[in-house]
Structure 1
């Protein structure tokens, strides 16, 4: 099993640690990994000796997202998209569990933090990153949409940065992530083990385990990188352009404005390449999900995303996007519509027809 489950005794209480251990796939989350993590968290939630949980990743990355190849196999089953939709239900339930976990959850993220990896990080109470982090929600490139609770956390970014990230799959470095609040603190890579050792030297039973200030002070005592030595913030250089060209009430106009902007930086051009070659239906899903989620609870946000994902499994774009980007790698997906302006309103609306409530929610959200 590409998951390491560990328990570390403290002076009082214990720490549960989950290490994603599939380095050959950059710890992409398979269905089996999701199920093992869910089972472990369900057990630890009620275990009196476990006082906090730590997430880490083995190898060069924390987590590059969901296991897209596994999903492609499910999408390729003739006439049946139920197994693909079930994958999303299990992944979203896991993210919701982390959001609502009754004990502190600390994620130590390094390297690639994409899609489902950002879902875990964003759901954690303490979000620690190393200077080499590369963070993104790149679903537009494969015909999905920013999921795993992105309707919740992208809406909490300043201005229209959440929209920009969803439309362009923009990659954020460590400085960007700290700047906009997608991470709480940077630590040096070698400090991850030191943090665990420092936590083990404490008593974590009773009220001490729930003392956020105490835990935060311990984290602050670690050796941190000189923030002046972190990568230059791409967002700082482009935030005025993002605000200017993402403004407006009509999505086709915003897309045209972004694509026609005369900005020569390599970072901006990579963003525009993703938007230009991305799925037009996805652009509308991003636009609509962020609007609808503004007044939603976390539970209803995940239910909306599961409905959207289920619809995506029944349409051709998701399978085609995975084929073009990851299976045959011709990088020439044939989307169901050529441009954003070509997408009928009815195609967008069908992704948001409410399907789930307390009586029929396969995620079993409480």
Structure 2
């Protein structure tokens, strides 16, 4: 009887000199993030935080397609259709704690954001202290296309982007390249993809700042930065219908494309996403934003548009979601507000007030 080969670990942890290397290892799914991966990464980060021999943490993804295509939405879909929502709530809880841990990590956290970096992949990388993009990078928060909302601290990052660039990215679910990612504030440094291996080798013996600086190049120009005029004017609208009206009134060809893109997204997700971004601008910290995102995400995962969006885009792949309600005009203020209300006593609660940040041992 032939025995099957043991399954590859979903995430690899290796040491090379002074660097602790985390490799997401689900290349067939572009390293989509599972709950087990979240817990494993958190445990290792806690361990390395107090290990004096680890001076830098490095995050990469296996395969050629990208760092991470986001969370494992099929697991969330199955929990929404056949479960009771508990698995999703626990995943969000642990994932958001990991996002906060990365943002507050006591040692340099270098994320190589090569290829696709979407949704949960942004949460793993864009909160790091050193965020590296390449000419192959494509970053985005595509949640409104599946009836969900930006999370993993995405509302914090996008609401603090220059002008309304973050609002544009969240509502259109667009992907951006390296120059735009740096302009928006999702990345810091640009290197050529053929220098990734050399950078990884250098980090084993050289601290993060000089290692990255030695290979950094001038980033490509930001197309979005050049379009700030119409983006800021349109996406400053007080509601999604107002934003779409402003886009239609714009003479910019790109504005019409943005309006067309938004027309295919979940009306409820668009309205809740805009409200999330506007609320987050007034929150004091990433942790407060993550706590708000948790309430919104729990509600969104249980709402009909999420299961319908995943069905249309991932399960049946007919690309014909039937949103409920189907139009922006039918999304009431009360419906949007319900996503932000405190969770009921019997629902899983989430707070970051008990989170302990690791401290450096050197």
Under a length normalisation based on structure 2, what TM-score does the superposition of the two structures give? Answer: 0.88
2:243 matches 1:254: yes
Quick one: which of 210, 220, 232 aligns to 2:213?
220
Quick one: which of 280, 285, 290 aligns to 2:277?
290
In the alignment, which residue of structure 2 is the partner of 1:281? Answer: 268
Q: Secondary structure at the match of 2:158?
A: helix
In the alignment, which residue of structure 2 is the partner of 1:151? Answer: 155
2:354 matches 1:354: no
2:195 matches 1:188: no
2:55 matches 1:51: yes
1:130-145 alignment, distance < 5 Å: 130-145=134-149
2:223 matches 1:234: yes
Aligned-residue offset at 1:52: 1.6
Aligned-residue offset at 1:262: 4.8
In the alignment, which residue of structure 2 is the partner of 1:340? Answer: 328
1:1-366 alignment, distance < 5 Å: 1-9=9-17, 14-59=18-63, 60-78=65-83, 80-202=84-206, 215-222=208-215, 224-225=216-217, 227=219, 230=220, 233-259=222-248, 261-265=250-254, 271-296=258-283, 297-355=285-343, 360-361=349-350, 364-366=354-356
Q: Is the 8 A contact 1:307 1:356 kept in 2?
A: no
Aligned-residue offset at 1:154: 0.6
Output the aligned Cα RMSD: 2.2
Q: 1:45 to 1:157 in 2, by over 3 A?
A: same
Q: 1:89 to 1:274 in 2, by over 3 A?
A: farther
Q: Secondary structure at the match of 1:329?
A: coil
Aligned-residue offset at 1:75: 1.4
Unaligned 5+ segments in structure 2 are 1-8, 357-362
Aligned-residue offset at 1:92: 1.1
Q: Is the 8 A contact 1:135 1:171 kept in 2?
A: yes
- How many equivalent residue pairs? 343
Q: 1:347 to 1:289 in 2, by over 3 A?
A: same
Q: Secondary structure at the match of 1:74?
A: helix
CA distance in 2, matches of 1:312, 1:341: 19
Q: Secondary structure at the match of 1:27?
A: coil
Aligned-residue offset at 1:255: 2.4
Q: 1:239 to 1:199 in 2, by over 3 A?
A: same
Q: Secondary structure at the match of 1:201?
A: coil
CA distance in 2, matches of 1:235, 1:337: 31
Q: Secondary structure at the match of 2:93?
A: helix
